[in-house]
């Protein structure tokens, strides 16, 4: 049986369990507009903690790609 992660294990994300037992995470601060346009979602879900963690990391990677990509563009 899955339990909710300890506080602070996913800084910046609030983890919730629905009445049906599904896990959800919502980012405490919205992504900026560019990250949202690139596909980053503020609220995600998963069947278990592993899936939820992977989805959180995927959203952060989408947003992080924009930040690292803009640094390279500024130097070009």
- pLDDT at position 36 is 95
Choice between 42 and 8, residue whose per-residue pLDDT is larger? 42
Choice between 5 and 67, residue whose per-residue pLDDT is larger? 67
Residue 19: pLDDT over 80: yes
HSE value, Cβ hemisphere, 13 Å, CA-based, for 18: 12
pLDDT tens digits, one per residue of 21-70:
999 999 999 999 999 999 999 999 999 999 999 999 999 999 998 766 55
- pLDDT at position 74 is 39
Taking alpha carbons only, the member of 29, 37, 33 closest to residue 13 is 29
The answer for 18, left when phi > 0, alpha when psi is -120 to 50, beta otherwise, is: beta
């Amino acid at each position: 049986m899955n339990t909710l992660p300890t506080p602070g294990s996913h800084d910046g994300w609030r983890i919730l369990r629905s009445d049906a037992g599904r896990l959800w995470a919502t980012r405490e601060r919205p992504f900026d507009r560019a990250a949202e346009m690139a596909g980053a979602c503020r609220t995600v879900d998963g069947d278990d903690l592993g899936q939820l963690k992977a989805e959180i990391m995927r959203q952060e990677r989408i947003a992080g790609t924009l930040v690292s990509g803009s640094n390279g563009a500024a130097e070009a």
